[in-house]
Structure 1
Amino acid sequence: MKTVLISGGGIAGTALAALLSHRGYAPTVVERASGPRGGGQAVDVRGVALEVVERLGVLEQIRAHRTRMRGMSVLDGDGRELHRSTENTFSSGRLDSGDLELLRDDLVRILHDRAKEEGCARFVFGDGVTALDPDEDDVLVSFEHAEPRRFDLVVGADGLHSAVRRLTFGPEERFARHLGMHLAIFSSDNFLGLEDWQLWLRDGEAGYGIYPVRGNSELRISFGYAGEPLPEGRRDPQAQRAVVAERMAALRWETPRLLKALADAPDLYCDTMTQIRMDRWSQGRIVLLGDAGYCASPLSGQGTSLALVGAHVLADALARSDGDHRTAFASYEERMRPFVALNQDLATENPGGPAAEESVERAKNAISLDG
């Protein structure tokens, strides 16, 4: 049984663990967090990705955890309603679509449980990859805490700031394309009393989206603002919190209460809107998956679907290759690249808002799982 180390226990890595277990591989997932990560925004499972979760056997669970918004309001800087819709929201698109929106942490938990059910997947939390030493037969992997271990294959599914990508291909700066925006996401009590309704406010180069979750008991708050990436030394959580508060302070309406919620939030996530563009996603026995290899940024609305579809295509390529990882990785790239390109383009099609509905429809269905 071939052993596979998957660095990253998010959507891509956990889905791949479940899919590989079903195909006779022995995957080990190593994740820096102490358990499946909580928090995060609502994410979308769209188009072909719905077929992936159906094949994984978790479609009905995902459907049961979907958000159930009635609509949204777009506000000016003083909180006055400029526009409302009961047909679509900025986070999920058309409300009558067959696509599914759910919280990121719910999706990760569902995938984690499914991977564990397969029996072959092993999860190691609170650790990370520090060095990779590949040869013709396997890869010797060093960890922050665990003893070094050899694996037949290594998959970097460790996100935008992938350690596997850095160790294998070089510094992030070679591949990152900053889109000029920053994103901060956190949760709070529903102090606005929202009921299945989203609010979106923008004033100049900053703004926020607010929507209720967990039966309207909580809010998910997303701050966005323009700016260049922070220097490396200012990426620690406290520095990020201070920068976000500074950039949002000029906004009016409920901003003071939102900034208080930011200060108290236990699950703040901050990062730049950035895409990763690479000429290749594999080297030897090491391959990249999801945001690590082809991050589309949250502006595309397709990061989750790219992760799920990429996991299926990679697992399928490995299963069909009769143990030849070179053939499998080449097939994975050939099938995924057109799909990735269309979905990355969604992030830049309309700088002022979501991409056109017809562009999303074309991109989300632009691959066949059995191609």
Structure 2
Amino acid sequence: MNRSVLISGAGIAGPSLAYWLGRHGDRVTVVEQAPGPRASGSAVDFRGDQLALLTRMGVLEKIREAQTGMGDQVIVNAAGRRRSAYPAAVFSGEVEIDRADLARILHDHSAPHAEYVFGDRVTAMTQHADGVDVTFARGAARRYDIVVGADGLHSAVRGLTFGAGHTHYLGYHAASFEVANTFGLDHSGVIHNAPNRYVGVASARDAGRAIVSLMFATPEPAYRRDDLDGQKSLLARHFADVGWRTPELLAALRDVTELYFAPLSQVRLDRWSSGRVVLLGDAAWCAGPGGNGTGHAMLGAYTLAGELARAGHETAFARYEEVMRPPVTKSQKFAAGAGKHLAPPTEKAIRRRDRTFRVLSSRPMTGLLTWLSTRTADTGELTDYPLPAVTG
């Protein structure tokens, strides 16, 4: 179609869309407020039908080369004794990769097909019948045929297009940070729970480092997204009485300079597009943990680009939403209960969950567990969107 397309966001959805749009012949610009591709983040996984999409995109082997190889994650009591375990199929799918490695692979794969502008962001947009005028924080204003918001839960494009008030807090906050691997972990993890709280430590490809994951139930707290010390204080307060090696982790937290800290929230919109602006990935439908966010973002990118290659933007946006609404709705429903599952509210609920996984992780139940862990990821056979031949 040879449209000019601006994509806001260079996480997972943005580079995926940039690749497919570029392959279809569009002129693509990706703007990202960070100074470069994502350099941190926890692991993400793929399972079921999602592997076919990675194969079609030509990145499956690169992802396999960088996969974590993560094994089971053992659930322990306050004394460190095993209570149960999450088999690898639950947390790690068929292929798991650190988010930073995936972002790098997708950036490199899409870079020949798009212009990347780092260190800038969209600040204003004005729609016209024949395009969208976009103002940036640093760069010169430009007009595009289409603007795509792939800028995550706190999407600026969504706010400019639909206004505020479309995020729904699920009652939990999550955090993650790196520490030295003093736990003897080798492609494995350990999990400890206290009521309404979750503590996880895992180490995969880098044996010297471990990723700490924390989750806690709370009425939505007031804090600034740029206040690192305030976020650390919140975590210290909520986990002060948790046993196992939590005090050691809180001591390490005081010295970290990079902390992921965010609410578990979903984005719920009646429509994902308005005029020439469309949303993709977490900006459109953030589901939360276990909601196939990465897989659906990449499937949405494939679908949106393919439909735009077939028709004008109004028809393409409608068809994209028709295809993506059913799997997204199913994933949002599933993910809405993830916080309560990972951080059960009482000791009785913790014991009940652990008993369930002792049964599900037994050898006779392996097939059922695999099916349960992939059913929200399976979306059926991919639509065939023919691509022009690669030249040069």
TM-score of the aligned structures, taking structure 1 as reference length = 0.91
In 2, distance between residues paired with 1:135 and 1:236?
38
Q: Which structure 1 segments of 5+ residues have no match? A: 94-98
Structure 1 residues 36, 334: closer, same or farther in 2, change over 3 A?
same
In 1, distance between residues paired with 2:122 and 2:221?
24
Q: Deviations over 1:259-305 (max 9, x none)?
A: 1322222321110111111100000000000000000112x241111
- Structure 2 residue 94 is the aligned partner of structure 1 residue 106: no
Structure 1 residues 363, 89: closer, same or farther in 2, change over 3 A?
closer
1:125 corresponds in structure 2 to: 118
Amino acid at match of 2:77: D
In 2, distance between residues paired with 1:154 and 1:115?
18
1:315 corresponds in structure 2 to: 305
Among 327, 330, 333, the residue aligned to 1:345: 333
Residues 83-94 of structure 1 correspond to what in structure 2 (within 5 A)?
A: 83-84=84-85, 87-88=87-88, 90-93=90-93
Amino acid at match of 2:305: A
In 1, distance between residues paired with 2:285 and 2:8?
16
- Residue 90 of structure 1, CA deviation: 4.7
- Structure 2 residue 145 is the aligned partner of structure 1 residue 152: yes
TM-score of the aligned structures, taking structure 2 as reference length = 0.86
1:222 corresponds in structure 2 to: 213
Q: Considering only CA atoms, is the larger Rg found in Structure 1 or Structure 2?
A: 2
User: Conserved in 1, the CA contact under 8 Å of 2:89 and 2:373?
Assistant: no
Among 259, 275, 299, the residue aligned to 2:266: 275
User: Conserved in 2, the CA contact under 8 Å of 1:12 and 1:289?
Assistant: yes
- Residue 233 of structure 1, CA deviation: 4.1
2:239 corresponds in structure 1 to: 248
Q: Deviations over 1:136-187 (max 9, x none)?
A: 111111111111111110000000011000000010x2x2121111100111
Residues 1-371 of structure 1 correspond to what in structure 2 (within 5 A)?
A: 1-84=2-85, 87-88=87-88, 90-93=90-93, 99-116=94-111, 119-171=112-164, 173=165, 175-231=166-222, 233=224, 236-298=227-289, 300-321=290-311, 324-349=312-337, 351-353=340-342, 358-370=371-383
**Secondary structure in structure 2 of the residue aligned to 1:159:** coil
Amino acid at match of 1:241: K
How many aligned residue pairs are there? Answer: 358
In 1, distance between residues paired with 2:202 and 2:291?
16
Deviates more, 1:190-199 or 1:20-29: 190-199
Amino acid at match of 1:325: H
User: Conserved in 1, the CA contact under 8 Å of 2:5 and 2:146?
Assistant: yes
**Secondary structure in structure 2 of the residue aligned to 1:363:** coil
User: Conserved in 2, the CA contact under 8 Å of 1:241 and 1:262?
Assistant: yes
**Secondary structure in structure 2 of the residue aligned to 1:55:** helix
Q: Which structure 2 segments of 5+ residues have no match? A: 343-352, 358-368, 385-392
Q: Deviations over 1:29-55 (max 9, x none)?
A: 111111111111110122232222211
In 1, distance between residues paired with 2:175 and 2:334?
21
In 2, distance between residues paired with 1:338 and 1:364?
11
Amino acid at match of 1:261: A
RMSD over equivalenced CA pairs, Å: 2.0
Structure 1 residues 269, 26: closer, same or farther in 2, change over 3 A?
same
User: Conserved in 1, the CA contact under 8 Å of 2:89 and 2:370?
Assistant: no
In 1, distance between residues paired with 2:337 and 2:246?
29
User: Conserved in 2, the CA contact under 8 Å of 1:133 and 1:140?
Assistant: yes
- Residue 70 of structure 1, CA deviation: 3.1
